[in-house]
Amino acid sequence: MIRIEAVLLDLDDALRRYERSPGQVLPMSFERTGIEPTAPGNPPERPQAERERETETAAPTSRE
């Protein structure tokens, strides 16, 4: 597996002129990685097991 040391974002095309637009590249990137794209403010649903672990490790509340 390839280990990624850094990520560079060239937002203004100062370093390179790209042949494909972000609209062409992003869908391919999501498909290759198997990640579902989400809109800002709409986070993906966490797996049930992860939510259960979070509940189990939460500090108990006092009941008076």
DSSP letter assigned to residue 28: H
E-strand spans in 1-64? none
Of 64, 55, 2, the closest CA to residue 32 belongs to 2
Q: Which two tokens stand for residue 15?
A: 């370093």
Q: Which amino acid is at 50?
A: E
Mean pLDDT in residue range 26-44: 78
pLDDT above 70 (res 25): yes
Is residue 38 within 8 Å of 44, Cβ to Cβ?
Answer: yes
pLDDT above 60 (res 20): yes
pLDDT above 60 (res 63): no
Q: Which two tokens stand for residue 40?
A: 């800002």
Q: How confident is the model at residue 38 (pLDDT cuts 50, 70, 90)?
A: confident
Q: How confident is the model at residue 3 (pLDDT cuts 50, 70, 90)?
A: confident
Q: CA-CA distance, 33 to 1, in Å (whole number)?
A: 13
pTM, full prediction:
0.35
